[in-house]
Amino acid sequence: SVWVVIKWVKETMMSNSSFETIVAVATLLLLLMFVSENWNWLKIPGPIPWPIIGNLGSLKGTKFLSIHEMYKIYGRIFRLKFGRVKAVVLCDVELIKEALLDRGRSLSGRPQFASYRLVSGCKSVVTNDPRCLREWVNYKSTMVQTLCSISNNNEMKELMNERIGSVLVYMIQELEKGGDGQNFAEDIVTKTVANFLCTVCYGETYDFNSKEFNNLIEMSRHYTDNLSKSILRDMIPLAEILPSVNKGRADFAKTSYHLHLWFLKRVEEVIQHFQPNKLNDLASVMVSDLTNDPTENISNITEKDRNSIAAIINDLVQEGYHSLYSMALWVVTYMIKYPEEVKKIENELNEVLDDYLPTLHDQESLPHTMAFINEVLRCRPSLPLAVPHSATEDTKLGGYDISKDTMVVASLYSANRDPKVWANPDQFDPSRFLAKDDLGVKVLDETKVEQVFTFSLGDRKCPGEDIGRSFLFLTTAYLAHTCKLKPDPAKPPTFQTKPGSITRPKDFGVQLNVKKCWLGVFKPDDNEE
């Protein structure tokens, strides 16, 4: 295309029109400036971007599937332009490892979107980096250390068993009742996930009909619905002339503000009722860490610290909620679609647990169950396109020069279907995660598990992975061990996804029946107090 323009300029300059000559020279200069400024980026293969919108017009329908098709055309690394934002897309396991592990420091930034500054009063760990939030490293460290205190603490693990078990019992009771709503199953699962995360983060468990709880669910939905519109304005400033985009930005800013106030209020309640010998939730652990003397006045915690705890809790609940309920819905979908795999899990659970309910301590003894979960995560990562990274300095990737501030997008969906790693990648086959130990006993193949990028990896890896996996394990085990699942003939599940950055199955119905031997757990005697 450059040579076509040069040829046109040459022919125009040979004509007698001085105006046409000026236009031709100006066009050539603009083209040369563009090529000079973007030379490193243009050397990477990829489609030609359109003015103003870039390649956004090529990402029709489900964006991650469009990018997966581009991967087949342009290869494991290619360039795209999102409005005015230059990006490179990574699509295979080795390249994503190179980016997020080997080049993790250089690519640890986030795009400098104004929308990201609106989240949690500009204190979000997920959407910020040290360039715009000086305390980012401290916030990230606090989040990771607090989550590790749960994962590595046996007392907290027992508490986690109890909490997940209680919300799952409630979920199963509600699902068995049935409902007439179009998205009834999704509604129950999403509320279960939100309830679990609220319990873990600040110790509050809600009734599904609670007005306060449903306000939180509604705000969370508005948050995700308007995020893409708000980011579109960051990528294409001219989009602000569109009323829907402007309204989306305003609604996103308003919702983000109210969500932060919501979690700040929860933190105030935790501080008000704080007991140093009862650290049963993440907020209490963080409050405790702010004082060396548990007998001193906890109310002296500064406003800055209160806001930072609220921001961390906001990140964990919001990001965890949307990702985890997507994963849980896919688990239910695959359980209904593959009853033969569920039968293997049932047999394993009956053999190992007999008439006991599963706990987190049983994971190593249930390789079929764990393999099923990992195969669901491989096939349907909740974030098929990871939250974008940004180059904080000039670096190299896949043999190409990557300039500072280039956006880097990892296609986790494509990586989880990398044929160099996964045989028959489009086939659902949990057995790919099974191996045999020295005694010939089937065990979970941890090397394969590490190749699943659902929770990303490197410095930006989701710190709540252990909590998420714990919830998915007990959800799968409870459903397989205590219930019979069937599709609703009027609305059976499919593998089609709803639009959005989070992959969710389209609305489906489910018929759930508790097995007779478990009726005492899920249907206690009416006279029992």
* Distance of alpha carbon 228 from alpha carbon 239, whole angstroms: 12
462 labeled binding residue: yes
Mention every residue, 6+ apart, whose C-beta is less than 8 A from residue 145: 289
Residues 120, 109: Cα–Cα separation, whole Å: 18
Instruction: Identify residue 337 by its one-letter amino acid code.
Output: K
**What are the structure tokens assigned to 434, written together?**
């099974």
Q: How far apart are CA 480 and CA 483, in angstroms?
A: 6
Instruction: Give residue 114's Cα distance to chain centre.
Output: 20
Closest CA to 52 of 22, 74, 85, 76: 85
* Contact between residue 375 and residue 433 where contact means Cβ atoms under 8 Å apart: yes
Calculate the CA dihedral of residues 111, 401, 106, 464 and round it to 10 degrees. Answer: 60
Q: Which of 58, 59, 5 is nearest to 501 (CA)?
A: 59
d(CA 215, CA 200): 19
| Other CB atoms within 10 A of residue 467 CB | 23
Sign of the CA dihedral 125, 131, 132, 134? positive
Amino acid at 23: V
442-444 and 400-402 beta bridge pairing = unpaired
Where would I find the H helices in 75-153? 93-97, 114-117, 136-151
Which segments are annotated as binding site for heme? 462
Which segments are annotated as binding site? 462
